[in-house]
């Protein structure tokens, strides 16, 4: 389901590859890079000397011919390929410094060196949305929070997410907290798996399997499947895009959709697409870490879920004006 949504989203994205304008490529003033056969190692050093005195190497404007960089090993008949390490290079000691300062003195320094050159762990807390939600058709003003925190290295991270809403003066209506293990599965995406606990509206636990990351065209997406302790399967997809108006004023279209594989009567949910929330937030980054925003969001229950709402005398959709803050530290 999530995959289908992502694919559908990708199809709807603007400017497919085929439509890209290539005419701009030729208009830049930078001169064509010259193919220097000496610099590229195409010629043995002897010939490079001669070339120096003669004409510069011809500009490389004949398309792709000769662009095979895979054959560098063959350029110089006399030189060996990269993996032909001479035997003397493999002689000991393993660490030269051990021979001078002693292994005992060097070991801690080596560990520290690795820690300080690629072994860093760090983390952040991001309050993505903390907002008041004012219905345009009257009704009680609500609030919403949506935050996450992570800690870890480049590939493996521990992630906490929490989200919830309610009405000012009333009880919390929905709340959830997720504890996830996140593993990078590609340059731009993490696979996230773990558990979700909902204290409200009724205490319930889910298994979570999701994907989060940066999709082409710079869309931040987060999709997850939830399997509840009662066997109900639901899903949620969020996507957002940051359009900079100026360096600090940022317009963020955001959409969130929820799905259910079956009816969940005690939560007034029907099978199918249950809810969709497209919204627009305009934030101003006073600092990168602190950005108040205003926004508007349309919130609609759909399909059977909407029918259930209507049957209960509730309006299944409506607009909300948003006032909030995005912050991280």
Q: In the window 64-103, what residues touch another protein (CB under 8 A)? A: 64, 67, 69-70, 72-73, 75-76, 78-97, 99-101
Count of beta carbons in the 10 Å neighbourhood of residue 155: 10
Does residue 54 bind another protein (CB under 8 A)? no
**Least distance (Å) from another protein to the CB of residue 292?**
17
In the list 12, 118, 171, 311, the residue contacting another protein (rule: CB under 8 A) is 118
- Taking phi first (over 0 means left), then psi (-120 to 50 degrees means alpha), and beta for anything else, what does residue 138 get? left
Q: Which two tokens stand for residue 233?
A: 């399967």
Please, which of residues 187-226 interact with another protein by CB under 8 A? 187-188, 214-218
**Least distance (Å) from another protein to the CB of residue 31?**
7
**Cα–Cα distance, 328 to 91 (Å, whole number):** 51
Does residue 114 bind another protein (CB under 8 A)? yes
Does residue 109 bind another protein (CB under 8 A)? yes
Does residue 63 bind another protein (CB under 8 A)? yes
Would you list the DSSP string of 159-200?
EEEEEEEEETTS-EEEEEEEEEEEEE-SSSEEEEEEEEEEEE
Closer CB to another protein, residue 8 or residue 84? 84
Q: Which of helix, strand or coil describes residue 251? A: strand
Quick one: which segment of 127-135, 172-180, 241-249, 306-314 binds another protein (CB under 8 A)? 241-249
Closest to 189 (Cα-Cα) out of 166, 169, 219: 219
Does residue 34 bind another protein (CB under 8 A)? yes
**Least distance (Å) from another protein to the CB of residue 17?**
6
Q: Are 298 and 279 in contact (CB under 8 A)?
A: yes
Closer CB to another protein, residue 25 or residue 203? 25
In the list 6, 38, 132, 172, the residue contacting another protein (rule: CB under 8 A) is 38
Closer CB to another protein, residue 36 or residue 167? 36
**Cα–Cα distance, 281 to 57 (Å, whole number):** 55
If you ran DSSP here, which 8-state letter would residue 93 be given? -
């Amino acid at each position: 389901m999530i995959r289908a949504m992502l694919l559908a989203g990708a199809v709807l994205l603007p400017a497919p590859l085929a439509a890209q304008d290539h005419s701009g490529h030729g208009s830049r003033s930078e001169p064509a890079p010259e193919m220097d056969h000496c610099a590229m190692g195409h010629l043995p050093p002897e010939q490079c000397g001669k070339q120096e005195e003669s004409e510069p190497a011809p500009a490389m404007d004949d398309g792709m011919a000769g662009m095979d960089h895979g054959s560098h090993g063959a350029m110089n008949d006399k030189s060996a390929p990269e993996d032909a390490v001479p035997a003397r290079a493999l002689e000991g000691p393993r660490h030269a410094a051990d021979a001078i300062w002693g292994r005992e003195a060097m070991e801690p320094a080596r560990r520290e060196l690795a820690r300080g050159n690629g072994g860093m762990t760090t983390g952040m807390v991001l309050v993505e949305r903390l907002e008041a939600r004012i219905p345009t058709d009257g009704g009680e003003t609500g609030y919403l929070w949506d935050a996450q925190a992570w800690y870890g290295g480049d590939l493996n991270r521990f992630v906490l997410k929490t989200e919830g809403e309610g009405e000012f003066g009333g009880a919390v209506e929905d709340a959830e907290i997720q504890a996830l293990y996140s593993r990078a599965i590609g340059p731009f995406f993490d696979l996230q798996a773990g558990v979700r606990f909902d204290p409200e509206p009724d205490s319930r636990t889910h298994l979570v399997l999701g994907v989060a990351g940066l999709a082409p065209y710079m869309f931040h997406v987060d999709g997850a499947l939830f399997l509840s302790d009662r066997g109900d399967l639901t899903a949620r997809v969020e996507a957002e895009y940051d359009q900079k108006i100026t360096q600090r004023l940022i317009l963020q279209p955001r959409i969130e959709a929820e799905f259910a594989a079956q009816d969940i009567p005690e939560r007034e949910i029907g099978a199918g697409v249950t809810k969709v929330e497209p919204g627009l937030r305009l934030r101003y980054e006073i600092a990168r870490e602190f950005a108040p925003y205003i926004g508007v969001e349309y919130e609609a229950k759909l399909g059977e879920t909407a029918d259930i709402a209507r049957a209960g005398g509730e309006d299944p959709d409506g607009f909300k004006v948003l006032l909030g803050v995005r912050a991280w530290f």
